[in-house]
């Protein structure tokens, strides 16, 4: 039997990678840059590990619990049968040490691998083994003087641009390339202002593995904001390790004050929220811009950490109860309903009962909308780990429980103060007849939410409505819509 059977064309199955993100909003932005690079490299990207060829875990390495969560996620990923790759802060911070202790991971990649992430995963899928890096202090990779850092070529997650070196500074924002692939839909997205930190807080290891502070170019940020708006984003949350330092390496310490109104003016964006503000660097001009600029949330995410001066000095921070209260008063003088939140560490080395009393005095007077409390634990490589005067674990627990209980009570009272007031609510989700959103003083995931009841039929994610607060449940509000302020475009309504 003879004949021409011809040549059968077989289309190769797409390579599938699941990208799992742990930790903070900064990590989420980094993951979306990785997703864009992988997509450009021919990988099919999702957040679902089922059926994936490779599971890439963007780990968190901030505190012990976050590191344990990262390890558990990596081990669970290995159970799927996919090849497992560790990236992110924990991978950068520990490198070879993590690789040696976690044979389940086919590769442990550092920040310097991000630019070639698609090729790295190609190699992993082909069975190659990669030697993990030996960690180093990434602050040493950049000049000490901030203004000399721009243009230095090192791996900085979340700062990618496919043609950054060839983009003319006069290219309009909307024509600049954006290296980002959204992994989640929805009306809210983070926008990364900068990476790294120049502060030397004695309890924090982040600067050593994230590096020195580097701002992103304002035009780059505006281009990304416009791109996000075209994907349906209505609220931008500005993130970094220290947003109040934005622009110091660009030669303009007022850069954030100038950038906020520009971002708020982007077509489709109805709210811009600044986060990660350092109290010692929060200038009066920035307080005013946040409080008075239309489209910018009157919201102050201030990193107080404590309020007792002796503790703050040992933390290598500045401030006091009275100075912090003055800062909050200055914001509320301009915007009486402004929201404010902060985090605090209890049990820092040398902390006394008098220090706790001072912290309680501050919390009782500050009228914060949300309070995060952490019990101190030593972190590898930090100055605080070697400080004398360690507080006993049982004492830390008692103080922690006391401050948490007070914080819950105070935040509930603060929410009750808003009864009868009007708030602007951005609708986040509509499911099963329940409409959930957030008022101006409520940041995503950390500050509570607002349930819209009554005349809420027809509302969709992305709608911005005015509503009257009729009830509270802890820090959460219950409110009735009274007016549509800005409806999400029809093409974005689901």
Q: 197: annotated binding-site residue?
A: yes
- Residues 180, 343, 371, 393: is their CA dihedral positive or negative? positive
Q: How many Cα atoms within 13 Å fall on the side-chain side of residue 138?
A: 30
Q: Give which of 408, 463, 404, 403 is closest to 437, Cα–Cα.
A: 463
Q: 204: annotated binding-site residue?
A: yes
Q: How far apart, in whole angstroms, are the C-alpha atoms of residue 494 and residue 182? A: 17
φ/ψ of 65, rounded to 5, equals -65, -40
Do residues 260 and 296 lie in contact, with contact meaning Cβ atoms separated by under 8 Å?
yes
Q: Kindly report the length of the chain.
A: 494
End-to-end CA distance of the chain: 59
Strand 83-87 versus strand 54-59 pairing type: parallel
Q: How far apart, in whole angstroms, are the C-alpha atoms of residue 106 and residue 120? A: 11
Helix (H) or strand (E) holding 237: strand 235-239
Question: Tokens for 161?
Answer: 């641009």
Helix (H) or strand (E) holding 43: strand 43-46
Q: How far apart, in whole angstroms, are the C-alpha atoms of residue 325 and residue 364? A: 11
Q: 411: annotated binding-site residue?
A: no
DSSP helix/strand/coil, 109: coil
Q: How far apart, in whole angstroms, are the C-alpha atoms of residue 447 and residue 95? A: 34
φ/ψ of 273, rounded to 5, equals -125, 125
Q: How far apart, in whole angstroms, are the C-alpha atoms of residue 451 and residue 446? A: 16
Which DSSP string corresponds to 250-316?
GT-TTHHHHHHHHHHTSTT--EEEE--B-GGG--HHHHHHHHHSTTB--EEEB--B---HHHHHHTT
φ/ψ of 290, rounded to 5, equals -65, -40
DSSP helix/strand/coil, 346: strand
Q: How far apart, in whole angstroms, are the C-alpha atoms of residue 388 and residue 370? A: 31
- Summarize the annotated binding site as residue ranges: 24, 60, 89, 197, 201, 204
Residues annotated as binding site for [4Fe-4S] cluster? Answer: 24, 60, 89, 197, 201, 204
């Amino acid at each position: 039997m003879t004949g021409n059977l011809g040549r059968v064309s077989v289309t190769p199955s797409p390579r599938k990678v699941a990208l799992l993100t742990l930790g903070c909003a900064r990590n989420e932005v980094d993951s979306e840059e990785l997703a864009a690079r992988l997509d450009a490299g021919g990988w099919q990207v999702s957040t679902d590990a089922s059926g994936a060829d490779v599971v890439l875990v963007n780990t968190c390495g901030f505190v012990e619990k976050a590191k344990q969560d990262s390890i558990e996620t990596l081990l669970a990923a290995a159970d799927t049968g996919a090849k497992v790759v560790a990236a992110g802060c924990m991978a950068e911070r520990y490198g070879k040490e993590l690789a040696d202790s976690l044979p389940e991971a086919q590769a442990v990649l550092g920040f310097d691998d991000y630019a070639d992430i698609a090729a790295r995963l190609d190699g992993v899928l082909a069975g190659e083994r990669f030697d993990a890096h030996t960690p180093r202090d990434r602050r040493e990779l950049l000049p000490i003087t901030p203004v000399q850092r721009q243009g230095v070529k090192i791996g900085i997650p979340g700062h990618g641009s496919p043609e950054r070196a060839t983009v003319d500074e006069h290219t309009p924002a909307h024509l600049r390339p954006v290296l980002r692939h959204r992994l989640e839909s929805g009306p809210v997205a983070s926008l990364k202002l900068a990476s790294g930190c120049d502060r030397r807080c004695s309890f924090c290891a982040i600067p050593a593995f994230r590096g020195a502070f580097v701002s992103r170019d304002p035009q780059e940020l505006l281009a990304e904001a416009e791109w996000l708006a075209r994907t349906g984003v209505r609220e931008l949350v500005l993130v970094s390790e220290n947003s109040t330092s934005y622009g110091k390496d660009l030669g303009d310490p007022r850069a954030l004050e100038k950038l906020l109104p520009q971002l708020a003016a982007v077509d489709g964006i109805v709210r811009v929220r600044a986060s990660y503000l350092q109290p010692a660097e929060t200038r009066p001009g920035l307080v005013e811009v946040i409080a008075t600029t239309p489209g910018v949330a009157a919201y102050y995410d201030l990193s107080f950490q404590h309020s007792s001066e002796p503790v703050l000095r040992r933390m290598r921070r500045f401030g006091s109860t009275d100075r912090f209260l003055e800062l909050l008063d200055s914001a509320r003088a301009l915007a009486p309903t402004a929201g404010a939140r902060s985090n605090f560490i209890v049990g820092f080395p040398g902390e006394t009962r008098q220090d706790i009393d001072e912290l309680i005095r501050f919390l009782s007077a500050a009228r914060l909308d949300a309070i995060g409390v952490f019990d101190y634990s030593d972190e590898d490589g930090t100055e605080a780990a070697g400080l004398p005067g360690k507080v006993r674990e049982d004492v830390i627990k008692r103080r922690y429980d006391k401050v948490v209980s007070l914080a819950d009570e105070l935040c509930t009272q603060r929410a009750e103060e808003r009864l009868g007031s009007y708030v602007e609510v951005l609708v986040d989700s509509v499911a099963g007849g329940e409409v959930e959103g957030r008022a101006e003083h409520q940041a995503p995931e950390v500050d509570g939410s607002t349930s819209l009841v009554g005349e809420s039929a027809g509302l969709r994610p992305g709608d911005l409505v005015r509503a009257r607060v009729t009830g509270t449940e802890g820090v959460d509000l219950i409110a009735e819509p009274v007016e549509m302020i800005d409806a999400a475009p029809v093409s974005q309504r689901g």
